[in-house]
Amino acid sequence: MRLNKREMSFLAKKFSNSNPLSLLSSADTTLRGDEQNALEGKGVLAGGKLTQEAGKLLSVAGNPQRCTRLVLKDGSYLIEKYAYKSGDAYTLAENDGGEVLFSPQEKLDEALFQLSQWIGMSDLKTFDLHTVLSWDELLVLLAMVDICRVNELRSYLGMETKKEIPFAQLRQQLDQPEPGSLTRILTGNYNYAVPKIEDTKAILDQLTTKKIAAYNEGYLLLGSYAEFAKKFLMPQTVVMLESFNLTEKIEIVGAGVLCVCAGLREIVSVVFKEGAVELESLSSRQLLKMMEEFLNCPDVL
Protein backbone atom coordinates (compact mmCIF):
# COMPACT_ATOMS: atom_id res chain seq x y z
CA MET A 1 0.00 0.00 0.00
CA ARG A 2 1.50 3.31 -1.12
CA LEU A 3 0.28 6.70 0.15
CA ASN A 4 1.36 10.26 -0.51
CA LYS A 5 1.37 13.02 2.11
CA ARG A 6 -2.05 14.38 1.14
CA GLU A 7 -3.64 10.94 1.38
CA MET A 8 -2.04 10.35 4.77
CA SER A 9 -3.25 13.74 5.98
CA PHE A 10 -6.76 12.83 4.85
CA LEU A 11 -6.62 9.46 6.63
CA ALA A 12 -5.26 11.02 9.83
CA LYS A 13 -8.79 12.25 10.56
CA LYS A 14 -9.85 8.65 11.08
CA PHE A 15 -7.42 8.36 13.99
CA SER A 16 -8.53 10.94 16.53
CA ASN A 17 -6.02 9.87 19.20
CA SER A 18 -3.08 12.03 20.28
CA ASN A 19 -0.42 9.30 20.14
CA PRO A 20 2.90 11.15 19.64
CA LEU A 21 4.42 8.06 17.98
CA SER A 22 1.75 7.96 15.28
CA LEU A 23 3.07 8.19 11.73
CA LEU A 24 -0.16 9.90 10.72
CA SER A 25 0.18 12.62 13.36
CA SER A 26 2.95 14.23 11.30
CA ALA A 27 0.89 14.15 8.09
CA ASP A 28 -0.33 17.75 8.01
CA THR A 29 -0.62 18.78 4.37
CA THR A 30 -3.08 20.98 2.47
CA LEU A 31 -5.67 18.79 0.76
CA ARG A 32 -6.82 19.14 -2.85
CA GLY A 33 -10.24 17.54 -2.42
CA ASP A 34 -9.65 14.43 -4.53
CA GLU A 35 -8.02 12.35 -1.80
CA GLN A 36 -11.03 10.14 -1.05
CA ASN A 37 -11.48 9.20 -4.69
CA ALA A 38 -7.76 8.43 -4.98
CA LEU A 39 -7.89 6.24 -1.87
CA GLU A 40 -10.98 4.45 -3.15
CA GLY A 41 -9.10 3.76 -6.39
CA LYS A 42 -6.14 2.33 -4.47
CA GLY A 43 -8.38 0.02 -2.46
CA VAL A 44 -7.56 1.78 0.79
CA LEU A 45 -11.13 2.99 1.24
CA ALA A 46 -14.41 1.35 0.26
CA GLY A 47 -17.54 3.43 0.68
CA GLY A 48 -15.53 5.95 2.69
CA LYS A 49 -14.34 3.34 5.18
CA LEU A 50 -10.95 1.66 5.52
CA THR A 51 -10.71 -1.73 3.87
CA GLN A 52 -9.70 -4.66 6.06
CA GLU A 53 -6.10 -4.82 4.77
CA ALA A 54 -5.56 -1.05 4.97
CA GLY A 55 -7.16 -0.95 8.40
CA LYS A 56 -4.72 -3.54 9.76
CA LEU A 57 -1.68 -1.60 8.56
CA LEU A 58 -2.87 1.89 9.44
CA SER A 59 -4.36 1.05 12.85
CA VAL A 60 -0.86 0.08 14.04
CA ALA A 61 0.99 2.96 12.36
CA GLY A 62 -1.69 5.36 13.58
CA ASN A 63 -1.67 4.25 17.22
CA PRO A 64 1.52 2.31 18.04
CA GLN A 65 2.94 1.37 21.43
CA ARG A 66 6.45 1.14 19.99
CA CYS A 67 8.17 2.39 16.87
CA THR A 68 11.58 2.37 15.19
CA ARG A 69 13.24 4.63 12.65
CA LEU A 70 16.12 3.33 10.53
CA VAL A 71 18.09 5.60 8.22
CA LEU A 72 20.90 4.39 5.95
CA LYS A 73 22.96 6.97 4.05
CA ASP A 74 25.59 6.10 1.47
CA GLY A 75 26.70 9.05 -0.64
CA SER A 76 23.60 10.33 -2.43
CA TYR A 77 21.60 7.21 -1.58
CA LEU A 78 19.11 7.26 1.29
CA ILE A 79 17.03 4.45 2.76
CA GLU A 80 14.50 5.35 5.43
CA LYS A 81 12.39 2.66 7.10
CA TYR A 82 9.91 2.78 9.96
CA ALA A 83 8.42 -0.01 12.04
CA TYR A 84 5.35 0.22 14.28
CA LYS A 85 4.05 -2.24 16.84
CA SER A 86 0.96 -2.44 19.03
CA GLY A 87 0.69 -5.68 20.97
CA ASP A 88 1.52 -8.37 18.41
CA ALA A 89 0.30 -6.28 15.46
CA TYR A 90 3.06 -4.86 13.26
CA THR A 91 3.42 -2.48 10.31
CA LEU A 92 6.54 -1.76 8.27
CA ALA A 93 6.80 1.54 6.39
CA GLU A 94 9.36 3.05 4.03
CA ASN A 95 9.90 6.52 2.64
CA ASP A 96 9.98 6.01 -1.11
CA GLY A 97 10.51 9.22 -3.04
CA GLY A 98 8.34 11.27 -0.71
CA GLU A 99 5.58 8.66 -0.56
CA VAL A 100 5.18 6.02 2.15
CA LEU A 101 5.03 2.33 1.34
CA PHE A 102 3.19 0.30 4.01
CA SER A 103 3.81 -3.45 4.36
CA PRO A 104 2.90 -6.28 6.75
CA GLN A 105 5.47 -8.02 8.95
CA GLU A 106 5.94 -10.73 6.31
CA LYS A 107 7.94 -8.17 4.29
CA LEU A 108 10.55 -7.69 7.04
CA ASP A 109 12.88 -10.42 5.72
CA GLU A 110 12.79 -8.77 2.30
CA ALA A 111 13.67 -5.42 3.88
CA LEU A 112 16.59 -6.97 5.77
CA PHE A 113 17.88 -8.57 2.57
CA GLN A 114 17.77 -5.16 0.89
CA LEU A 115 19.79 -3.68 3.75
CA SER A 116 22.32 -6.53 3.56
CA GLN A 117 23.13 -5.47 0.00
CA TRP A 118 24.54 -2.24 1.44
CA ILE A 119 26.39 -3.52 4.51
CA GLY A 120 27.18 -7.16 3.67
CA MET A 121 26.85 -10.34 5.75
CA SER A 122 30.43 -11.07 6.81
CA ASP A 123 31.30 -12.53 10.21
CA LEU A 124 34.76 -10.93 10.09
CA LYS A 125 36.06 -7.59 11.37
CA THR A 126 39.56 -6.18 10.93
CA PHE A 127 39.91 -4.66 14.42
CA ASP A 128 38.47 -5.38 17.85
CA LEU A 129 37.20 -2.43 19.84
CA HIS A 130 34.91 -2.05 22.84
CA THR A 131 34.86 0.78 25.38
CA VAL A 132 32.47 3.00 27.31
CA LEU A 133 33.22 6.73 27.27
CA SER A 134 31.68 10.06 28.10
CA TRP A 135 30.41 12.13 25.17
CA ASP A 136 33.38 14.50 25.46
CA GLU A 137 35.85 11.61 25.52
CA LEU A 138 34.25 10.09 22.44
CA LEU A 139 34.43 13.34 20.48
CA VAL A 140 38.08 13.91 21.33
CA LEU A 141 38.92 10.30 20.50
CA LEU A 142 37.17 10.49 17.12
CA ALA A 143 38.93 13.77 16.33
CA MET A 144 42.24 11.99 16.95
CA VAL A 145 41.11 9.06 14.79
CA ASP A 146 40.19 11.45 11.98
CA ILE A 147 43.64 13.07 12.03
CA CYS A 148 45.35 9.67 12.06
CA ARG A 149 43.16 8.50 9.17
CA VAL A 150 44.22 11.45 7.03
CA ASN A 151 47.87 10.90 7.93
CA GLU A 152 47.59 7.24 6.96
CA LEU A 153 46.10 8.14 3.58
CA ARG A 154 48.84 10.71 3.00
CA SER A 155 51.50 8.13 3.78
CA TYR A 156 50.11 5.96 0.97
CA LEU A 157 50.87 8.85 -1.38
CA GLY A 158 54.45 9.02 -0.14
CA MET A 159 53.84 12.17 1.87
CA GLU A 160 55.73 12.66 5.11
CA THR A 161 53.51 12.68 8.20
CA LYS A 162 54.00 12.81 11.96
CA LYS A 163 52.54 10.22 14.29
CA GLU A 164 52.13 12.76 17.08
CA ILE A 165 49.03 14.96 16.99
CA PRO A 166 49.56 18.58 18.09
CA PHE A 167 46.95 20.00 20.44
CA ALA A 168 46.16 22.84 18.00
CA GLN A 169 45.40 20.38 15.18
CA LEU A 170 43.12 18.41 17.47
CA ARG A 171 41.19 21.53 18.44
CA GLN A 172 40.84 22.52 14.80
CA GLN A 173 39.25 19.16 13.99
CA LEU A 174 36.85 19.59 16.91
CA ASP A 175 35.93 23.17 16.01
CA GLN A 176 35.83 22.71 12.22
CA PRO A 177 35.55 18.98 11.48
CA GLU A 178 36.46 17.95 7.96
CA PRO A 179 33.54 16.91 5.70
CA GLY A 180 32.98 13.15 5.81
CA SER A 181 35.00 12.76 9.00
CA LEU A 182 33.77 10.77 11.98
CA THR A 183 33.68 13.96 14.03
CA ARG A 184 31.45 15.65 11.43
CA ILE A 185 29.17 12.61 11.16
CA LEU A 186 28.64 12.58 14.91
CA THR A 187 28.20 16.30 15.50
CA GLY A 188 26.15 16.70 12.31
CA ASN A 189 23.54 14.14 13.35
CA TYR A 190 23.31 14.67 17.12
CA ASN A 191 22.86 17.86 19.07
CA TYR A 192 25.70 17.50 21.55
CA ALA A 193 28.11 20.30 22.44
CA VAL A 194 31.78 20.13 21.48
CA PRO A 195 33.98 20.28 24.60
CA LYS A 196 35.45 23.68 25.35
CA ILE A 197 39.11 24.34 24.64
CA GLU A 198 39.89 24.78 28.34
CA ASP A 199 38.43 21.31 29.08
CA THR A 200 40.17 19.44 26.26
CA LYS A 201 43.48 18.87 28.07
CA ALA A 202 41.68 17.20 30.99
CA ILE A 203 39.76 14.98 28.56
CA LEU A 204 43.03 13.95 26.89
CA ASP A 205 44.41 13.11 30.33
CA GLN A 206 41.37 10.87 30.89
CA LEU A 207 42.02 9.06 27.60
CA THR A 208 45.65 8.65 28.63
CA THR A 209 44.63 7.18 31.97
CA LYS A 210 42.39 4.70 30.13
CA LYS A 211 45.37 3.74 27.91
CA ILE A 212 43.53 4.88 24.81
CA ALA A 213 46.07 7.61 24.09
CA ALA A 214 49.55 8.68 25.16
CA TYR A 215 51.61 11.88 25.02
CA ASN A 216 55.06 12.17 23.46
CA GLU A 217 55.65 15.62 21.96
CA GLY A 218 52.06 15.28 20.79
CA TYR A 219 49.23 12.82 21.25
CA LEU A 220 49.22 9.22 20.00
CA LEU A 221 46.55 6.55 19.84
CA LEU A 222 47.43 3.20 21.38
CA GLY A 223 46.68 -0.45 20.64
CA SER A 224 43.33 -1.25 19.07
CA TYR A 225 42.50 2.47 18.82
CA ALA A 226 45.53 3.05 16.57
CA GLU A 227 44.46 -0.01 14.57
CA PHE A 228 40.97 1.45 14.29
CA ALA A 229 42.35 4.67 12.81
CA LYS A 230 44.57 2.82 10.31
CA LYS A 231 41.80 0.53 9.08
CA PHE A 232 38.89 2.98 9.10
CA LEU A 233 40.18 5.07 6.23
CA MET A 234 37.08 6.11 4.26
CA PRO A 235 33.80 6.30 6.22
CA GLN A 236 31.10 5.68 3.65
CA THR A 237 27.84 4.25 4.97
CA VAL A 238 26.03 5.74 7.96
CA VAL A 239 23.21 3.89 9.74
CA MET A 240 21.06 5.57 12.38
CA LEU A 241 18.75 3.45 14.53
CA GLU A 242 16.21 4.92 16.92
CA SER A 243 13.53 3.05 18.85
CA PHE A 244 10.79 4.59 20.99
CA ASN A 245 8.27 3.21 23.48
CA LEU A 246 5.16 4.92 24.80
CA THR A 247 4.65 4.65 28.56
CA GLU A 248 1.29 4.41 30.33
CA LYS A 249 1.64 8.13 31.10
CA ILE A 250 1.96 8.87 27.35
CA GLU A 251 5.64 9.68 27.75
CA ILE A 252 8.25 8.68 25.17
CA VAL A 253 11.29 6.61 26.14
CA GLY A 254 13.92 5.96 23.48
CA ALA A 255 17.17 4.24 22.59
CA GLY A 256 19.57 5.06 19.77
CA VAL A 257 22.60 3.72 17.92
CA LEU A 258 24.81 5.27 15.26
CA CYS A 259 26.80 2.91 13.03
CA VAL A 260 29.43 3.90 10.48
CA CYS A 261 30.92 1.59 7.85
CA ALA A 262 34.24 2.09 6.09
CA GLY A 263 34.17 -1.30 4.39
CA LEU A 264 32.69 -4.77 4.64
CA ARG A 265 34.74 -5.59 7.76
CA GLU A 266 35.28 -2.07 9.13
CA ILE A 267 32.20 -1.06 11.12
CA VAL A 268 31.80 0.78 14.42
CA SER A 269 28.69 1.41 16.49
CA VAL A 270 28.02 4.19 18.98
CA VAL A 271 25.33 3.18 21.48
CA PHE A 272 23.86 6.10 23.40
CA LYS A 273 23.36 5.31 27.08
CA GLU A 274 22.37 7.35 30.12
CA GLY A 275 25.35 9.66 30.67
CA ALA A 276 27.71 7.62 28.48
CA VAL A 277 28.30 6.18 25.02
CA GLU A 278 29.50 2.70 24.10
CA LEU A 279 31.92 2.42 21.16
CA GLU A 280 32.29 -1.03 19.62
CA SER A 281 33.50 -2.64 16.40
CA LEU A 282 31.00 -4.88 14.61
CA SER A 283 30.96 -7.41 11.82
CA SER A 284 28.46 -6.68 9.07
CA ARG A 285 26.38 -9.65 10.20
CA GLN A 286 26.25 -8.19 13.72
CA LEU A 287 25.09 -4.88 12.27
CA LEU A 288 22.39 -6.63 10.24
CA LYS A 289 21.24 -8.45 13.39
CA MET A 290 21.11 -5.12 15.24
CA MET A 291 18.97 -3.68 12.44
CA GLU A 292 16.62 -6.66 12.71
CA GLU A 293 16.31 -6.20 16.48
CA PHE A 294 15.48 -2.52 16.08
CA LEU A 295 12.98 -3.14 13.28
CA ASN A 296 11.19 -5.56 15.60
CA CYS A 297 10.49 -2.57 17.88
CA PRO A 298 12.23 -3.68 21.10
CA ASP A 299 11.12 -2.89 24.63
CA VAL A 300 13.36 -0.02 25.81
CA LEU A 301 11.47 0.84 28.98
Last residue of a domain, one of 204, 231, 258: 231
Three-state SS for 64? coil
Does residue 290 form part of some domain?
Answer: no
Predicted TM-score (pTM) of the model is: 0.92
Clarify whether residues 137 and 45 are in a common domain.
no
Does residue 273 form part of some domain?
Answer: no
Given a contact cutoff of 8 angstroms between Cβ atoms, the answer to whether 37 and 6 are in contact is no
Last residue of a domain, one of 231, 249, 266: 231
157 CB-near residues (< 8 Å, 6+ apart): none
Query: How confident is the model over 61-104, as pLDDT tens digits?
Result: 999 999 999 999 999 999 999 999 999 999 999 999 889 999 99
The count of domains in the chain is: 2
CATH assignment at residue 164: 1.10.10
Last residue of a domain, one of 62, 90, 108: 62
- C-alpha pair distances (Å), 4 with each of 38, 42, 51: 10, 12, 18
What pLDDT was estimated at residue 205? 97
Does residue 8 form part of some domain?
Answer: yes
Does residue 95 form part of some domain?
Answer: no
| Cα maximum dimension of the chain | 77
Query: How confident is the model over 22-50, as pLDDT tens digits?
Result: 898 766 677 888 989 999 999 999 998 99
Does residue 227 form part of some domain?
Answer: yes
Cα torsion for 32, 99, 36, 6, to the nearest 10°? -30
Its domain, for residue 3, covers 1-62
Clarify whether residues 135 and 221 are in a common domain.
yes
Query: How confident is the model over 241-289, as pLDDT tens digits?
Result: 999 999 988 899 999 999 999 999 999 999 999 889 999 999 999 999 9
**Long-range contact set of residues 133-138: C-beta below 8 Å, sequence gap at least 24:** 133/276, 133/277, 133/278, 133/279, 134/206, 134/275, 134/276, 134/277, 135/192, 135/276, 135/277, 136/195, 136/199, 136/203, 137/203, 137/206, 137/207, 138/186, 138/270, 138/277, 138/279
CA 80 distance to own-chain centroid: 10
CA–CA separation, 107 and 175 (whole Å):
44
